[in-house]
Amino acid sequence: MRTALVTGGGRGIGAAISKKLAEDGYRVLVTYCTSSKPAEMVVDDIRSSSTDAVAVNCDVTDAREVALLATHPWVIEGVDVLVLNHGRYDRIDAKELNLEHLRRTMSTNFEGAFLVWDAVKSNLTTEARICVIGSQLGTRGSPHGADYSASKAALSIWARSLAQSLAPEGKRVNVIAPGFVDTDILAGDSPEKRASREEEVPLKRIGTPEDIAGVVSFLVGEKSSYITGAVIHVNGGLYLP
Ligand code: NDP
């Protein structure tokens, strides 16, 4: 059976991606950092409805935990799809950002993705697909997330470079840059803030985790076989670069 590894696959967008890939026929290795219960629920859901899944604890900022992840039997047997989805967004005014915070964000969002890739790269199958979850802010920037935006910009350009390097081997790498998506990241919004976001989006709604999961499914499938090194903006028309 084909294997997918989804970082941060137990919650929010990652949970929707894990379930969608299971529907597509993959067994799914779901990693979590602090939220074990939601990850176990995703695993139970997949096992009861489609294929097989397992939850593995892995803080992507901890090289030892990432190295341990790479020793999981499903990884050793070969990873067909790697989704680097994990991320943190702490909303700090760009003027207030300090070095400690910048390093924390970069080490999670960017270095963490690199560490996971580096640990599992020798176990990727011949035509493996890699999908990286960036952000519209990685292109636009944000007054409330200079660190987050910079980490997502780095992630995106790293992934596009990797795509160019891996293409001759038949492996494909693509980036999804979501706009507003209804997860815990937006949970602090007041009703007024939510309404103003909906108004701002040309399609007049906040995206769902399933909106992103569907695009992941496309990008790792055969119908996208000529797409690599792309950044796909999934944002309801909010920002069209
Ligand atoms: P959530 O906050 O709901 O989920 C974040 C996920 O990242 C959780 O699964 C969390 O795991 C994991 N994570 C955080 N830190 C670490 C770490 N150190 N090691 C391993 N895993 C970690 O956010 P979303 O689902 O919304 O976000 C998913 C991705 O989509 C992120 O990369 C985010 O930046 C991106 N995105 C989201 C947007 C949105 O509007 N929601 C917009 C644009 C991009 P755990 O809970 O176990 O700690």
- DSSP letters, 68-106, are HHTTSHHHHH-EEEEEE-------B-GGG--HHHHHHHI
Q: Tell me which of 85, 132, 139, 149 to substitute to probe ligand 1's pocket, judged by most ligand atoms within 8 Å of the beta carbon.
A: 85
- Whether 32 is a known active-site residue: answer no
What CATH number should be reported for the domain holding residue 77? 3.40.50.720
Q: Examine residue 239 and state whether it is found in any structural domain, yes or no.
A: no
Nearest alpha carbon, ligand 1 atom 8:
8
Q: Burial level of 14, CB count in 10 A (0-12/13-18/19+)?
A: buried
Q: Reply yes or no on whether the pLDDT at 240 is more than 80.
A: no
- Cα-to-centroid distance, 185 and ligand 1 (Å): 8
Contact 83, 59 (CB under 8 A): no
Measure the CA–CA gap between 66 and 108, rounded to whole angstroms: 12
Query: Of 34, 39, 35, whose CA–CA distance to 18 is shortest?
Result: 39
Ligand 1 binding residues, C-beta < 6 A: 7-8, 10-14, 32-35, 59-61, 85-89, 108, 112, 133, 135, 178, 180-181, 183-186
Residue 241 is predicted with a pLDDT of 74
The model's pLDDT over 51-102, given as tens digits with 9 standing for 90+, comes to: 999 999 999 999 999 999 999 999 999 999 999 999 999 999 999 999 999 9
Q: Examine residue 241 and state whether it is found in any structural domain, yes or no.
A: no
pTM: 0.98
DSSP 8-state class, residue 24: T
Q: Give me the catalytic one of 32, 89, 148, 226.
A: 148
Q: Examine residue 182 and state whether it is found in any structural domain, yes or no.
A: yes
Q: In the predicted model, what is the mean pLDDT of residues 109-130?
A: 98
- What number does the ligand 1 atom closest to the CA of 35 have? 47
- Cα-to-centroid distance, 222 and ligand 1 (Å): 27
Question: In 10 A of CB 38, how many CB atoms?
Answer: 18
**C-alpha 13, offset from chain centre:** 8
Q: Examine residue 240 and state whether it is found in any structural domain, yes or no.
A: no
User: Which residue spans within the chain are E strands per DSSP?
Assistant: 3-6, 27-32, 53-57, 79-84, 124-133, 172-178, 231-234
Q: In the predicted model, what is the mean pLDDT of residues 116-130?
A: 97
Tokens 């090289």 correspond to 63
Q: Reply yes or no on whether the pLDDT at 50 is more than 90.
A: no
Measure the CA–CA gap between 143 and 149, rounded to whole angstroms: 9
Between the two ends of the chain, the Cα-to-Cα distance in Å is: 38
Residue 181, SS3?
strand
- What number does the ligand 1 atom closest to the CA of 108 have? 18
Q: Reply yes or no on whether the pLDDT at 134 is more than 90.
A: yes
Domain count, the chain: 1
The model's pLDDT over 181-223, given as tens digits with 9 standing for 90+, comes to: 999 999 989 999 999 999 999 999 999 999 999 999 999 999 9
The model's pLDDT over 144-193, given as tens digits with 9 standing for 90+, comes to: 999 999 999 999 999 999 999 999 999 999 999 999 999 999 998 999 99
Residue 133, SS3?
strand
Q: Reply yes or no on whether the pLDDT at 12 is more than 90.
A: yes
Residue 66 is predicted with a pLDDT of 98
Per the structure, the complete domain to which residue 77 belongs is given by 3-234
Residue 90 is predicted with a pLDDT of 95
- Cα-to-centroid distance, 87 and ligand 1 (Å): 4
Q: Examine residue 112 and state whether it is found in any structural domain, yes or no.
A: yes
Q: Examine residue 42 and state whether it is found in any structural domain, yes or no.
A: yes
Residue 20's pLDDT band, with cuts at 50, 70 and 90, is: very high
Nearest alpha carbon, ligand 1 atom 9:
8
